[in-house]
Chains A and B, each alone.
Chain A
């Protein structure tokens, strides 16, 4: 401990995407001494890539209310979402969006000057009766607009930023209090202890564990790895969302906004096949439903192209004006990555790993909760998590489009508010025990080992291909059992891997190695949780157990790194004030 530099703050946020920055803003505006640690400059965080928008029942285009939004979210979650948290999120949505607008987000506008809203998948009026128009948008660059505005507001509020610092591990004391983090400055390689009375993880998702992914290269789930190593389980890790419309072959996202604005999917016969799978919502059914439909079309020989390995997303009928005005970003992506102008021709698409519904278990205040002495949900003192790395759970087994930007804002603010309470109740910092740094420093030193061994690159690419093949859109017990064996073997091989960059200065090889350690634990969590859940629910679709089984599986999974074991806890079916939406058959 003695020779590692140390900085002390009231509160620490790890990750500078929308969730981390929304929380930091709440704290900085309350005159709290807040530090944000991020491995990239804040506006490079993955929130920047969110396209379609953010759900809130503003009713600017057609009548709407939060209760319908809540129903859609519960149904979309395939009844695995916790209804107290979902009610809280949907009730807060409008206020959070107005706050963003006041903060400067350049939302697109309706003729009357109000925020523009578009229809999105899985949303309805009057509890499933007709399509709603609920997604607030800044063209198709909503995440970019939102992230930049939040960063700008944090500059105003004088949040302290540690840009390009990589967080290695949480620091804890013997009583289980989280006291901060060991990080290092990427530019110099120098380790730094950042002490704080509370630590908020907002480190984003981990869909990079799959070969084909819409995610940024930085989405390696570092906060999840830290959480597992701190002895805390991960929740519902079997539920990964495959977005129906990644560009075939490269994986870049074609926003659901494309279908919200009136685009639709075609198979090789030129048939609008979603009409068969979801007679009412058609192309705006929930993402899990559309992804399965696409794979089924391809498996049954109705895929497009020479290899019959994709379907087409048709937009040209919308006309050049709508595409240029409402979907300029996805037009740019299609032209660059598929060499197709959607104004003229349809875009080849394929379901692509996109979003992690599971994550670090929290309550609706963002507090990390884990089984302890008296029950399955005891708060870990000083530790919070929000956004894609957290599992509140508002998304359950399948997230609705437009709910992830909402999730990060609602729970970013909620966590900020709860942290203020915690700081008031715990005014004095606790001592970091002298041995707390030993394990994390060892983790860093391990990658200085000389000699021969496999490369990180090779093991990572193999892992991603195993996850794609053994834990994809459709799953089965045998396939996953074999997959677990393969990931375990890769996990062992990683212990012997070496890197050949010895430099302290901006050593990205070392970062990739540390990231792969995190991804490997997450891959194990995902495939072991998936193999254990013997039913089909939301994004988790088992060919050997094709039905949802509420009698046995209406419960959250918890995966522990130690012993790679599973545990379970009940779903909170009771909302805060509304009536429970009891599980029923889910059709669109």
Chain B
């Protein structure tokens, strides 16, 4: 199979370039990550992150033939050749396919991604009805791979001000939790011309999420919470 891979090492390369690779591999049943690891065995200087190799840790998010996804759960046989691999767009490149996600993590921390509850802790669990718990489905499963935020034009334009789909999905995860008591503070923080309202429902986030989550829907729900609050 033929590959064309983005290469850049700040120590030795004046600018990035695309390098062609050829790999003898039976694509059936294999994932893109399998091929990348074999390519790395041929060329040790190719840098890429990977860990769980089953789509739960979020390490190996890449731009694959122009579309963000996780290498470990992208079937090799689905890809058109030459397979073009680039780092996630819109964030600084550290080297080759490895990007700097500092801004992405900063946005995640900014929404205070933890449960806030001021009540005395009961000796047992806090009760939550199955229907209340079901509100968290499609939210808590986020693996912070950054496929969505780095596919979002609003994030590219205002990475310092717009929170991006991943952080907003997590913001809603806590707003939706029947156990959380910081709804007002959370909404105060989000009610801002940039943080939330730079989302123009372009829907790239929904399109690329490898876990099938829907940040745009969560953002819509935050908007309606804000509207409800003003009435």
Contacts and interface: CB of A to CB of B under 8 A. Distances in A.
A529 B109 CA distance: 45
B47 A507 contact: yes
A506 B98 contact: yes
A505 interface: yes
Given A40-B59, A109-B129, A503-B11, A104 B114 contact: yes
A216 B127 contact: no
Interface string A88-117: 000000000110011110111111111100
Contact of B133 (A103, A106, A155, A336): A106
B58 A148 contact: no
B157 interface: no
B51 A46 contact: yes
B187 to A, nearest CB: 19
Contacts of A500: 44-45
B128 A109 contact: yes
Contact of A501 (B44, B48, B54): B44
A336 B55 contact: yes
Interface residues of B, number: 58
B127 A112 contact: yes
Which has the most chain A C-beta neighbours within 10 Å: B40, B73, B141, B174?
B141
A337 interface: yes
A511 B39 CA distance: 17
Nearest to A187: B94
Interface residues of A, number: 62
Contacts of A457: 40-41, 44
A134 to B, nearest CB: 15
B193 interface: no
Nearest to B9: A503
Interface string A10-39: 000000000000000000000000000000
Contacts of B47: 505-508
Contacts of A250: 29
B33 to A, nearest CB: 9
Interface in A37-59: 40-41, 43-46, 48-49, 58
Contacts of A506: 47, 94-96, 98
B51 A217 contact: yes
Given A40-B59, A49-B52, A339-B29, A102 B144 contact: no
B41 A455 contact: yes
A49 B11 contact: no
A218 interface: yes
Contacts of A43: 57-58, 143-144
A417 interface: no
B58 A216 contact: no
Contacts of B55: 332-333, 336
A114 B51 contact: no
Contact of A104 (B48, B53, B133, B179): B179
B45 A501 contact: yes
Interface in A496-541: 499-501, 503-509
A101 B128 CA distance: 10
Interface in B109-131: 109, 112-115, 117, 121-130
B82 interface: no
B136 interface: yes
A218 B114 contact: no
Given A101-B126, A252-B53, 15 more contacts: A48-B57, A49-B52, A98-B124, A101-B125, A114-B125, A115-B125, A156-B112, A187-B94, A216-B51, A457-B41, A458-B41, A500-B45, A501-B45, A503-B11, A505-B95
Interface of B: 9-12, 29, 40-41, 44-45, 47-59, 73, 75, 94-96, 98, 100-101, 105, 109, 112-115, 117, 121-130, 132-133, 136, 140-141, 143-144, 174, 177, 179-180
30 contacts: A40-B51, A40-B57, A41-B59, A41-B101, A41-B105, A43-B57, A43-B143, A44-B58, A45-B57, A46-B52, A46-B57, A48-B143, A104-B114, A104-B180, A114-B125, A114-B127, A144-B143, A152-B113, A155-B109, A216-B51, A217-B51, A217-B52, A252-B54, A332-B55, A336-B75, A457-B40, A500-B45, A501-B45, A503-B11, A506-B95
**What are the nearest 7 A-B pairs in CB distance?**
A104-B115, A113-B127, A509-B44, A152-B114, A457-B41, A44-B57, A101-B125
